[in-house]
Amino acid sequence: MTFTVLIPARLASTRLPNKPLADIAGVPMVVRVAQRVLTLAGVTPRVVVAADSLEIVAACQAHGVAAVLTRMDHPSGSDRLAETCDLLGLQDDEIVVNVQGDEPLIDPALVAAVADLLQKTPQAHMSTAAHAIDSVANFHNPNVVKVVLDANHMGLYFSRAPIAFPRDTPTELPRHAQPLRHIGIYGYRVGFLRQFPKLCQAPIEVTESLEQLRALWHGYRIAVFVTEHAPGAGVDTPEDLARVRQHFASLAT
């Protein structure tokens, strides 16, 4: 299986300035993400950081990680990824996987599974992942994005609301449809990724603030890999960063 992992990284961050360069046991966070993906057994994907600043590019190159400089004014991560595909000269039929630059604990096997699913599902234009929700609190938490699937594990809808909603037992988890938490990792066919930023925003996308709904609204299909394991937490806040630093410090002792 051949695919490319793209890691978008930009310095601007409201809650954690200069997040891609945050030090984690002597290594910038975005480099930690790339190194983590490269530990994948049996598969050696091409891994490239899509940076918005020369500072990030230099930090990656200093640690032997490939990086390209993209425009600073992209309105979304998908725009940055599309430009990166052009800079790398990728063909429309190739597959890329978008791994966020704040996921230093990402499971490399999950990255491969998302790429493999898209490769084996020709009717899909994208792929992503999900895992089972096992608490009522998470089911009702709007910060936990839910996804419902059809019989072929294609995404029917993504929402911040509790779906599928158990009408007769609203204070419990659904009994007949396993609730799934969406994991923010995406596989794309490069040709579709080039088209995606040009599609008009969907009303449901704006309402839910979920970009993947644009694909569904325009009739494109998203294959969903359901993993048994919850992913390692990302880094959004100083508290998250402290926790990840502690994790890596414990590995060194």
Query: Could you list the residue range(s) of the whole structural domain that residue 200 is in?
Result: 4-230
79 domain-assigned: yes
- The answer to whether residue 20 is domain-embedded is yes
Which CATH number belongs to the domain containing residue 38 in this structure?
A: 3.90.550.10
CA distance 18 to 247: 20
pTM for the structure as a whole: 0.92
Question: Is residue 135 one of the residues assigned to a domain?
Answer: yes
Lowest-pLDDT range of 57-61, 146-150, 232-236: 232-236
Domain count along the chain:
1
Is 121 inside any structural domain? yes
Give one DSSP letter per residue of 7-60, joined into a string.
EEE-S--SSSTTGGG-EETTEEHHHHHHHHHTT-TT---EEEEEESSHHHHHHH
Question: Is residue 244 assigned to a domain?
Answer: no
Give the pLDDT confidence of 6-52 residue by residue, as tens digits.
Answer: 999 988 766 788 899 999 999 999 999 999 999 887 777 899 999 99
Contact by Cβ (8 Å): 72, 30: no
If pLDDT is split at 50, 70 and 90, which confidence band does 72 have? confident
Is 30 among the domain residues? yes
